[in-house]
Structure 1
């Protein structure tokens, strides 16, 4: 199998992780690039949809003794200390990332939004059940989770975004809003949220 001869990645390839992903990289690319993925702790195919070749090889620009051997194999180091990836390896990596991104974006935007809504309202088990019984109709669950991670909106405890709701229903020409309590998770202890750098789970103040 040669990555340059592939025109599309199968669903099994896109969903590969850990040992299956390592076997694919070792077969479709080569042992030298496989060492690069192992070095960067890349363990699944979907994680490559949001990175570039330069980001993948950025670690090779640093003067690290343990990387000397792989740097000699994958490229050259100029007198100013900058690492230059061999053109053959760059083309191979660009081809792999291009195939992954095209596969990730193969679903229409409306279908992706519907899948995201279905995952949020129905939950993981409901979504996986429907996806398995409707072959190729819905994106893989890892792609839906990637859509959620790429969303810049952060939900904070006790924060009401009425202005955002107003802008949304005005843009969609909607006059009614139905709301309900989010009971997807009950917090029984104090938790730390790294994204917002706060602790949650305390009793909220009553503000008029």
Structure 2
């Protein structure tokens, strides 16, 4: 019979190697029955790890103790004043041990597969030199943040790069933009105009929202400016909040807004 059929690992619980206490004993009883369950329980072998670490489960039968009389009678034959473990119980122990070891090996193989996947990532890194300085920059930026010396320019740049890379892994219709990128997009559109905005947006895939999205942001904003309508109070409030005394307006701004 194929050993894969004998040792069906798919029937084992995912946490079989971490079982302890009552859960472990229930598992043992369901797989190999009561006799081996009792032998383990009387020795306080109460976890999968403890079971796999025990060299000789049947060593207990070498000792002469009244507490062991009942379990010896159930599990052994007495021959010439020596107790010999019944063949069925020995077979159950062999089966259980092999089953758990194969499960353990399966987990090791899965970890090795994950490591192999990691090696593929390193190959990708070697084939794309641009990734190396980018990773170095992220590490340096992380250290800066941990030292509570956050640079607002680096913070926006990190947010901008994250936004691009996240969008490149999505379908175009599912592109998303964080608040700092939205504010940057509005500023670029207002100051640079439609043609400049579109030129940058088309050449930086996933970096900036479309004009439709941008116009929606403007319409939903509380800062809509209409041609010929002056809002000096709001302008003064904004300048004071930013400690600015002077402002400049281009004639073309109203056409954009």
Q: Which has the higher contact order (CA 8 A, sep 6+)?
A: 1
TM-score normalised by structure 1 residue count: 0.45
Greater fraction of residues in helix = 2
> Rg bigger for which structure?
2
